[in-house]
Amino acid sequence: MSIPFFPPDLFDGDELLDLVHAVGTSPQQRFILGERTAEFESALRESLGVADAIACGSGTSALTLLLHAMDVGPGDEVIVPAYGCAPLAATPLLRGATPVFADVDPWTVVVDPVEVEKLVTERTKVIMPAHMFSVMADMPALRRIAADAGVRLLEDSAVAQGGVLAGRPAGTWGDAGVFSFVQVKTFGMPGEGGMVVTNDPALGRTVRMLRNHGQDGRTRFLHHRIGHNSRFDELMAAFQLRRLAGLPERLERRAAIADYYTERFTGLPGVQPPPPGRDGRCFYVYSLLADRRDALRDHLATAGIGSHVYYQAPLPRQAAFAPYAADRDWPHAEHACRRQLAIPVYPHLTDAQVEHIADQVRRFALA
């Protein structure tokens, strides 16, 4: 039995060819920011109950547009997790601001609100938590910290579409949130793409303008601000609209697999699953913390099971960002880098494959 970590069959069949023909032969002949993009934005806006949803070029671009719209610039600080994806640090730096790295919770590996609160200063402009693997950040605590400090809260929910915490969807806890639609995400597609969601209409209007060279969408070639090229592809919008109805079912399958894994792995020596339950969970990746991570990875590979190590060094320890990091330690982020291993959790897995994966993890831990 061979089980890849990334599924190879997400986009098979003739669906893409049919969509290319439909977009290319439509009367509008628009391949970016056309009626399908508007329909896709409307569908997400309504499903999340937000004031605005703005499709853009990628999840990273969504963060960039929001930091620009929030007037983040030189002299400002943006508090970000020390453990996570490079855009968390890169996007503030590209605006001339300084990322301030907060350590993470040792079990959930999302940013620790206690650490965030310690780092707030008069220079803090934005707090930017990120949901991680299968756990949403503690958004109620982070929202309180941001409100008390009078700063913006930007929710990086790139991996968390479909996650719900205390009845509130991921992406809707802060001043704005972002999603990513790159292939491996829970609502992935065969290309790059992202979405900004917000309940602040003014912020939404600014982001919508910034994504298209500072134009307001009414009159072309009139530029009101210096903007970006972060426009959404009509073909991808059509693809996502076709797949949107099936997203809840796919998310439920991911969650059911995760429930099974957690039940099988709880109490294993040297292997720590994520916290159980569904509240505040987003099953983009099912990630274990293993004392002998590399040996477990090799064991799974021998059994034909693909796995994946994320973030082999904390952001402030990486060459690109170390010059901007304070002389501090991030022990829990370091610990996560040494122990994290993700196993397959995508909805295409059969029950037999899921059982095989769980059996092999247990066999390794109990050997």
- Cβ atoms within 10 Å, residue 351: 10
At 50, list the tokens.
């937000």
Query: Would residue 185 show up in a list of annotated catalytic residues for this protein?
Result: yes
Contacts for 245 with CB less than 8 Å, ≥ 6 apart: none
Catalytic residue among 185, 254, 297, 339: 185
Residue 265 CA to residue 272 CA, distance in Å, equals 7
Least Cα distance to 59 among 80, 40, 86, 82 occurs for 86
At 164, list the tokens.
């719900």
Looking at this protein, which amino acid is placed at residue 13? G
Q: Answer for the pair 179, 171: CB distance below 8 angstroms, yes or no.
A: yes
Residue 44 CA to residue 59 CA, distance in Å, equals 15
Residue 86 CA to residue 72 CA, distance in Å, equals 18
Least Cα distance to 365 among 249, 273, 270, 226 occurs for 270
At 355, list the tokens.
């059982």
Element (H, E) at 203: helix 201-210
Least Cα distance to 353 among 305, 309, 307, 308 occurs for 305
Question: Active-site residue numbers?
Answer: 185
